[in-house]
A and B are shown apart, each in its own frame.
Chain A
Amino acid sequence: MRLTIIAILVSLTIISCSTGGDGGDPYEATPSPLVIPQLFQDKLIDPVIPADNPQTVEGIALGRKLFFDPILSGDGTQSCSTCHNPENAFTDPRQFSVGIDGSIGTRNSMPIFNVAWNFNELFFWDGRATSVEDQAFGPVVNPVEMKNTWPNAVASLQADSEYPDLFLAAFGTSTIDSTMVTKAIAQFERTLISANSKFDKYTRGEVELTPSELNGLNVFLDEGRGDCFHCHGNPNSPLWTDNIFHNNGLDASFTDRGRGMVTGDPREFGQFKSPSLRNLAYTAPYMHDGRFATLEEVINHYSEGLVYSETIDPLMKTVSAGGVHLTEQDKADLKAFLLSLSDPSFISNPDFQDPN
């Protein structure tokens, strides 16, 4: 017992020493905790925010400026927003994005929203990035995208008339490095929250769905028809994705091995991350290679276009007949339901537009 008291005393001493001891608190920008939509608060676990990159007013503002600023690219012509346009729920309406030197990528850009609720924290179609911060290192130096080097990008920011002060305000130092750049961008990206679609309003009891949308929801949830919910969420899991990798039967053989290229595991060849079905109204074309221009094509794929390959997901049914062959009515209703997941207030949110 006496020993315990001594231990407590000693530890108290240590704690008080370390707070007062080394002269001056570390710089802290103005906290700006994520505003979590009530729906997510009710249904989901907390968003992922790394302890070493808390949301701050200054960090978010800096990240937003960087996201829309072509200064990060090799020749000053391309920003993140070139391929992640707010109007398109932060993706690119082109099938393949074009880099600064005209190179064309092989994958469709991805929308950016609700990234803090990607609990697995695997980003890109193949999950090769392991956090929002980590992801942001990639595009700046990707030869088919912004084709810069980090030392060069950092030097451009350092030489700029505004950025050193903005980094000082956000991180307490005007000596810029790539880690701070990615942290600021990640803070901005975490604010890109979409939770106000027609369907969200329906869940909140504010609006009714049409009979067609309601039947579409049933098709989506019916294991014998759409059975989409085992990968793309459900009304109680309103992210509308599992953020897991699957082969949804697009091809008999793969030109792009997807997840399998990252892990080297042949069991994962041809798997890609299930995208969220929010905001489909703005995110065409669809799939990792943007092969489908319309939702009709997507629905036809699942209904009768499935193709067998060794890693195809077991949930893809009646593959030998191309799928379960939905009726035309069910297809139209499924489409109507999918569109009810789009959120106009997300793409028009003034906080998400170009500040420059």
Chain B
Amino acid sequence: MKKIALFAMIAMVAMSCNNDDDNSSTPVNVDFLFTHNWDGSAIENSDFEVIQYTNAHGEELSLSKLVYLISDITFTNANGDVYDAGDYNLVNVREETNLMFTPNIQVPPGDYTVSFTFGFDDEDNIDGVYQDLNSADGGWNVPMMLGGGYHYMRMEGKFIDNTAAEVGYAYHAIRAADASTTPITLQDTSFEVNLGTVTIANNTEIEVKMNVAEWYDNPHEWDLNILHTVLMPNFDAQVMMSENGATVFSKGAVTQN
């Protein structure tokens, strides 16, 4: 026991020595914290299954599920050097899993433009190859008849329709697919989110905010009465989701601890 204590002390001393030696130029990891709000009001687990939001078109709605994929977090500095781990993260808002993500890459401290891809771009959207995504949520896959690959987002809940009935909706974002043509028409509807410039130092954490209300607005005011289900095979709906997505994400707090 005494030996272990001694060892622990020595190890701590050794580690702190290391830190002192080289703190300014050693490449560092960067943490990302994903937070979610509806026009500024934070969305927590307890907010799910409560009809409490009103979208731009005027429908009252709840969330029951909000799971989405981001990939290719990229750091670009003024010299044009690009750092991209090429990995991905599946955020589950209700279950509060993967809200924190550290891309598997280290970047030298400095100023960077930070961006990521919502969903998978075509290069990454390869059918069935990611075992963790095949195993997540009963299979995060998109059926082959819609071109295969993976979901970008599953947002589900209930809304009050124009007959005052409570109806389920499934706002699922995928690569746009029109299966009525031969061959199938596919359009990459993933999009790049640019968070702007961030100063990266040791222990930088970047908050990425999703304003869920924006999925229903700007440029397309979303009418759930018409577009609440069977949106995966709806090519135009997918393009609209992608366009609405442009204003969904923003940079929140950047902290250096």
Contact A314 B139 (CB under 8 A): no
CA gap between A187 and B6 in the complex, in Å = 40
Q: Write out the residue numbers on chain A whose beta carbons fall within 8 Å of the beta carbon of B169.
A: 314
Q: Write out the residue numbers on chain A whose beta carbons fall within 8 Å of the beta carbon of B138.
A: 230-233, 237, 239, 241-244, 274
Stretch at the interface among B8-16, B25-33, B208-216: B8-16
Contact B135 A119 (CB under 8 A): yes
Contact A237 B139 (CB under 8 A): yes
Q: Is A222 an interface residue (CB 8 A)?
A: yes
Q: Write out the residue numbers on chain A whose beta carbons fall within 8 Å of the beta carbon of B141.
A: 234, 236-237
Contact A7 B7 (CB under 8 A): yes
Q: Is A10 an interface residue (CB 8 A)?
A: yes
Stretch at the interface among A104-112, A171-179, A316-324: A316-324
Q: Write out the residue numbers on chain A whose beta carbons fall within 8 Å of the beta carbon of B73.
A: none
Q: Write out the residue numbers on chain A whose beta carbons fall within 8 Å of the beta carbon of B168.
A: 312-317, 319
Contact B230 A224 (CB under 8 A): yes
Q: Which of B17, B145, B167 contacts A218 (CB 8 A)?
A: B145
CA gap between A239 and B134 in the complex, in Å = 10
- Which of A6, A218, A274 has most chain B Cβ within 10 Å? A6
Contact B137 A3 (CB under 8 A): no
Q: Is B39 an interface residue (CB 8 A)?
A: no
Contact A235 B144 (CB under 8 A): yes
Contact B3 A314 (CB under 8 A): no
Query: Which B residues between 81 and 133 are near A, CB-CB below 8 angstroms?
Result: 127-128, 131-132
Q: Is A155 an interface residue (CB 8 A)?
A: no
Q: Write out the residue numbers on chain A whose beta carbons fall within 8 Å of the beta carbon of B4.
A: 14
Q: Is B64 an interface residue (CB 8 A)?
A: yes
Query: Which A residues between 301 and 334 are near B, CB-CB below 8 angstroms?
Result: 308, 311-317, 319-320
Q: Is A130 an interface residue (CB 8 A)?
A: no
CA gap between A119 and B136 in the complex, in Å = 9
Q: Write out the residue numbers on chain A whose beta carbons fall within 8 Å of the beta carbon of B157.
A: 314
Q: Is B165 an interface residue (CB 8 A)?
A: yes
Q: Is B232 an interface residue (CB 8 A)?
A: yes
Q: Write out the residue numbers on chain A whose beta carbons fall within 8 Å of the beta carbon of B49.
A: 267, 311
Contact B145 A221 (CB under 8 A): yes
Q: Write out the residue numbers on chain B whose beta carbons fall within 8 Å of the beta carbon of A236.
A: 127-128, 134, 139, 141
Q: Is A94 an interface residue (CB 8 A)?
A: no
Q: Is B170 an interface residue (CB 8 A)?
A: yes
CA gap between A10 and B131 in the complex, in Å = 40
Contact B11 A315 (CB under 8 A): no
Q: Is A51 an interface residue (CB 8 A)?
A: no
Q: Write out the residue numbers on chain B whose beta carbons fall within 8 Å of the beta carbon of A314.
A: 64-65, 156-158, 168-170
Interface residues of A (CB under 8 A from B): 3-4, 6-7, 10-11, 13-14, 17, 42-45, 117, 119, 218, 221-224, 229-237, 239, 241-244, 267, 274, 308, 311-317, 319-320
Interface residues of B (CB under 8 A from A): 3-4, 6-7, 10-11, 13-14, 17, 48-49, 64-65, 127-128, 131-132, 134-135, 137-139, 141, 143-145, 154, 156-158, 165-170, 172, 229-233
The 3 closest A-B pairs by CB, nearest first: A242-B138, A237-B139, A314-B168
Extra pairs beyond A3-B14, A3-B17 (7, CB < 8 Å): A10-B10, A14-B3, A218-B145, A231-B138, A236-B134, A236-B141, A315-B168
A-B pairs with beta carbons under 8 Å apart, 14 shown: A6-B10, A13-B3, A45-B132, A221-B143, A222-B145, A223-B229, A223-B231, A223-B232, A237-B138, A237-B139, A244-B137, A267-B49, A308-B166, A315-B170
